[in-house]
Structure 1
Amino acid sequence: MLQDYLSVTQAGILASLNFFGYLSGALFSISLKNIQKKVFYFRLGIILSILTALILGTTHSEILWIVSRVLAGFGSAMILLVGASLVMLKLNLEFKTKAMGIHFSGIGFAIIISELVSQMVLENNSWGEAWLVLAFMAFIFSFYIFHILSFDKEAHKAALQKESNKSIFSPYVILLILAYLTEGVGFVVQGTFLPEIVNSLKGLEGKGNLAWLIVGIAGVPSSILWMRLAHRFNSVDVIIFALSLQVIGILLPTLSTNIYVNLLSAALYGSTFIGLVALFMNLGGQISKHNPVILMGSMTAAYGIGQVVAPLYSVALIAHFGNFDTTLYLTAFIVFLGVVLMLLTKSDTVIK
Structure 2
Amino acid sequence: MTIASLQSQRFKVLLAGVFSQILCIGVARFAYTPLLPVMQQQSWIGDADGGWLAALNYAGYMLGAVLAASIRSIYLKDTLFRIGLVLAVLTTAGMALTEHFWLWAGLRFLAGLSSSGSMLLASGLILHWLIQHQQRGELGIHFAGVGIGIVVAALAVELMLGLSLNWQAQWWGFSALGAALLVPAWRWLPRPVKPVSGAGTAPQAPAKPPSRTFMRLMLPAYFCAGYGYVISATFIVTIVEREPLLAGAGNWTFALVGLAAAPAVMLWDLVARRIGYLGALSVAMWIQVVGIVLPAITSSLAGVLFSAVLYGGTFLGCVSLVLTMAGRLYPSSPAKLMGQMTLAYGAAQIFAPALTGMLAEASGNYRLGLWLAGGFVAVGALFLMWLRKVDQTAQRLDVEAKALKVA
For Structure 1 versus Structure 2, the TM-score category normalised by the shorter chain is: over 0.9
- Whether the 8 Å CA contact 1:104–1:223 is kept in 2: the answer is yes
Tell me, yes or no, if structure 1 residue 140 matches structure 2 residue 168: no
Tell me, yes or no, if structure 1 residue 239 matches structure 2 residue 281: yes
2:301 match: 259
- Whether the 8 Å CA contact 1:244–1:339 is kept in 2: the answer is yes
Structure whose CA Rg is larger: 2
Cα drift, residue 327 of structure 1: 0.9
- Whether the 8 Å CA contact 2:207–2:332 is kept in 1: the answer is no
CA distance in 2, matches of 1:320, 1:120: 33
> Once the two structures are superposed, what CA deviation does each residue of 1:223-276 show, in whole Å capped at 9, x if it has no partner?
111112112331111111110111001111121111011011111111111111
- Whether the 8 Å CA contact 1:250–1:265 is kept in 2: the answer is yes
Task: Report the TM-score when normalising by structure 2.
Answer: 0.80
1:304 match: 346
1:326 match: 368
1:91 match: 130
Cα drift, residue 218 of structure 1: 1.0
CA distance in 2, matches of 1:243, 1:65: 33
Please tell me the residue identity of whatever aligns with 2:327. G
Q: Secondary structure at the match of 1:154?
A: coil
CA distance in 1, matches of 2:99, 2:337: 38
> Once the two structures are superposed, what CA deviation does each residue of 1:1-48 show, in whole Å capped at 9, x if it has no partner?
233332111110100010111111111111111011000111111111
1:29 match: 68
- Whether the 8 Å CA contact 2:66–2:343 is kept in 1: the answer is yes
1:64 match: 103
> Once the two structures are superposed, what CA deviation does each residue of 1:311-352 show, in whole Å capped at 9, x if it has no partner?
122122223322211111111110001101101112237869
Tell me, yes or no, if structure 1 residue 207 matches structure 2 residue 245: no
- Whether the 8 Å CA contact 1:118–1:130 is kept in 2: the answer is yes
The 5-angstrom pairing of residues 1-352 of structure 1 reads: 1-5=39-43, 6-92=45-131, 93-97=134-138, 100-124=139-163, 125-149=165-189, 150-154=191-195, 168=210, 170-348=212-390
Sort the Cα spacing of 1:209 and 1:102 in 2 relative to 1 into closer, same or farther, 3 A.
same
CA distance in 2, matches of 1:34, 1:234: 31
CA distance in 1, matches of 2:178, 2:358: 34
Sort the Cα spacing of 1:251 and 1:121 in 2 relative to 1 into closer, same or farther, 3 A.
same
Cα drift, residue 109 of structure 1: 0.9
- Whether the 8 Å CA contact 1:170–1:351 is kept in 2: the answer is no
Runs (4+) off by over 6 Å: 349-352
Aligned-residue CA RMSD (Å): 2.5
CA distance in 2, matches of 1:214, 1:322: 26
CA distance in 2, matches of 1:155, 1:112: 42
CA distance in 2, matches of 1:218, 1:4: 30
Q: Does 1-10 or 32-41 show the bigger shift? A: 1-10
Cα drift, residue 155 of structure 1: 8.7
> Which ranges of structure 2 fall in alignment gaps of 5 or more residues?
1-38, 396-407
Q: Does 20-29 or 204-213 show the bigger shift? A: 204-213
CA distance in 1, matches of 2:326, 2:290: 26
Cα drift, residue 166 of structure 1: 11
CA distance in 2, matches of 1:169, 1:143: 41
Task: Report the TM-score when normalising by structure 1.
Answer: 0.92
Sort the Cα spacing of 1:27 and 1:169 in 2 relative to 1 into closer, same or farther, 3 A.
farther
> Once the two structures are superposed, what CA deviation does each residue of 1:129-160 show, in whole Å capped at 9, x if it has no partner?
1211211121122112222221121299x9xx
Sort the Cα spacing of 1:28 and 1:197 in 2 relative to 1 into closer, same or farther, 3 A.
same
Please tell me the residue identity of whatever aligns with 1:322. G
Identity of aligned residues (%): 31
Sort the Cα spacing of 1:28 and 1:245 in 2 relative to 1 into closer, same or farther, 3 A.
same
Q: Secondary structure at the match of 2:218?
A: helix
- Whether the 8 Å CA contact 2:207–2:331 is kept in 1: the answer is no
CA distance in 2, matches of 1:281, 1:166: 15
Q: Does 144-153 or 296-305 show the bigger shift? A: 144-153
> Once the two structures are superposed, what CA deviation does each residue of 1:162-214 show, in whole Å capped at 9, x if it has no partner?
9x989545211332222111111111100111011112224112221121111
Cα drift, residue 65 of structure 1: 0.8
Sort the Cα spacing of 1:326 and 1:141 in 2 relative to 1 into closer, same or farther, 3 A.
same
2:10 match: none
**What count of residue pairs does the alignment treat as equivalent?**
348
Q: Secondary structure at the match of 2:195?
A: helix
Q: Secondary structure at the match of 1:195?
A: helix
Cα drift, residue 62 of structure 1: 2.3
